[in-house]
A and B are shown apart, each in its own frame.
Chain A
Amino acid sequence: MCLGIPGKVEVIKGKEAVVDLGGVKRKVRLDLVEDLSQGDYVIVHAGFVIQKLTKEEAKDLLNAIEELGEAMNW
């Protein structure tokens, strides 16, 4: 229901920013987020930034699952 693409903020101008989406650039709206800065990773949906991405990698997700597994003694 919501195609969201990760991208990197290149330039911020008022309520808009230019984001690099894997080599393709797009002007996006910032109405839905605050205190974004250059170099942040974001999720873009329908031309809007809907969230700032934190730096988690796949290995962090796996560690979290391991901990959950121990807690649930799977």
Chain B
Amino acid sequence: MEINLEHGAGGKLTHELFNSIFYKAFKNKILEKAGDKAILRFGSTRIAFTTDAFVMAPKKVSGCTIGKLSVTGTVNDLLTCGAIPMYLSASFIIEEGYPIANLSEIVRDMSETAKISGVSIVTGDTKVVERGKADGVYVITSGIGKVIKNSNVSGSNAEPGDVIVVSGPVGTHGTVVMLARGEFGLYSSVSSDCCPLNDLVIPLIKKYGKKIKVIRDPTRGGLATTLNEIAKESKVGMVVEESKIPVLEEVKSACEVLGIDFLSMANEGIMVFIVDAKIKEKFLKDLRNNPKGRLASVIGKVVSDKEKKVVLSTSVGGERILDMAKGLPLPRIC
């Protein structure tokens, strides 16, 4: 059996690959906790450590380049650990013949995004492969940050009664990249939501501390995958109101035309929070005070459910199960 594109789509096959190959080989207590984000303890200090590979194609879309994405992705990952992002490494795999001008533009984006997020890129590596052995350039970044004292966020913290909040419209980045590839001849003026969220998340953690139970950036596999991951880790169920989920009209239409569910499309500039119901109103107000959170919305609540299902109550007054993204979003005629 060979690797196919579905393994990389962030849904079920990605999880099966992780469990059956990587986790089995590397099995350890820290990896078991959450996989793509690790919390390391040095005495009373907790350090968050995370890494990501970026293979975005095309390399540039409206509002985002692979450079900006490679820093934003790791910075936002560190934030989901309740940590202040501090230092990044950056490694490059570059194809023979790739224009140096394009490379310097990517690196310029990386340094700009690093400045905005208050991180420094302190180490890295560069490898060149023969023409045809890579798609221009791939960027791999890792990052470390110091976990904020009174914060205790983890995917297994959600409890029945907690509320689910998203900080902005869903499905934007994935849809913009899909359209930018031009395979389906669809054009829209929407830009990617890719942006580092330090100034949105850190003040909230400092203010609300342990009342913030879970923070997640719903990247590959979209909101649908992230909610199901949390439900599994916390062994809870969720009820989500479809009409409360913010989404841009163009993103919804583009996915409708192609027969794809926008809840499975990647995001690069929003966060999902699970918070104690007591702080619901204040937390939402604070989020909306920041321009990056002006469309924030409470989309549902955590319930007890031993089958750990995420149920979506539809705007039509119906109900359906929201499952993890299954694989590649592909256009269909039926």
Contact = CB atoms under 8 A, between A and B. Distances in A.
Interface of A: 1-3, 5, 21-27, 44-47
B95 interface: no
B257 A24 contact: yes
B253 A22 contact: yes
Contacts of A22: 249-250, 252-253, 256
A2 B333 contact: yes
B333 A24 contact: no
B185 A44 contact: no
19 contacts: A2-B333, A2-B334, A3-B332, A5-B253, A21-B256, A21-B257, A22-B250, A22-B253, A22-B256, A23-B248, A23-B250, A24-B188, A24-B250, A24-B257, A25-B188, A26-B184, A26-B186, A26-B187, A44-B257
A23 B333 contact: no
- Chain B's interface: helix, strand, loop or mixed, by majority? mixed
Nearest to B248: A23
Given A23-B188, A25-B188, 5 more contacts: A1-B334, A3-B259, A24-B186, A24-B250, A27-B185
Name the residue among B184, B186, B257, B333 with the largest chain A CB count within 10 angstroms.
Answer: B257
B249 A26 contact: no
A25 B249 CA distance: 12
Interface in B201-257: 248-250, 252-254, 256-257
Given A2-B333, A2-B334, A25 B253 contact: no
Interface string B143-166: 000000000000000000000000
B187 A25 contact: yes
Interface of B: 179, 184-188, 248-250, 252-254, 256-257, 259, 332-334
A45 B257 CA distance: 9
B253 A24 contact: yes
A21 B334 CA distance: 18
A44 B257 CA distance: 9
Contact of A26 (B185, B248, B332, B333): B185
A25 to B, nearest CB: 5
A39 B179 CA distance: 24
A21 B188 CA distance: 10
Contacts of A2: 333-334
Given A2-B333, A3-B333, A3-B334, A23 B257 contact: no
A23 B253 contact: yes
Contacts of A23: 188, 248-250, 253
A21 B252 CA distance: 10
Nearest to A20: B253
A46 B185 CA distance: 11
B191 to A, nearest CB: 13
Nearest to A46: B333
A2 B332 CA distance: 9
Contacts of B253: 5, 21-24
A16 B5 CA distance: 33
B117 to A, nearest CB: 31
Nearest to B190: A23
Contacts of A27: 185
B252 A25 contact: no
Name the residue among B179, B184, B256, B259 with the largest chain A CB count within 10 angstroms.
Answer: B256
B162 to A, nearest CB: 34
A45 B333 CA distance: 7
B193 to A, nearest CB: 16
B28 to A, nearest CB: 46
A47 B185 contact: yes
A15 B257 CA distance: 21
A10 B319 CA distance: 36
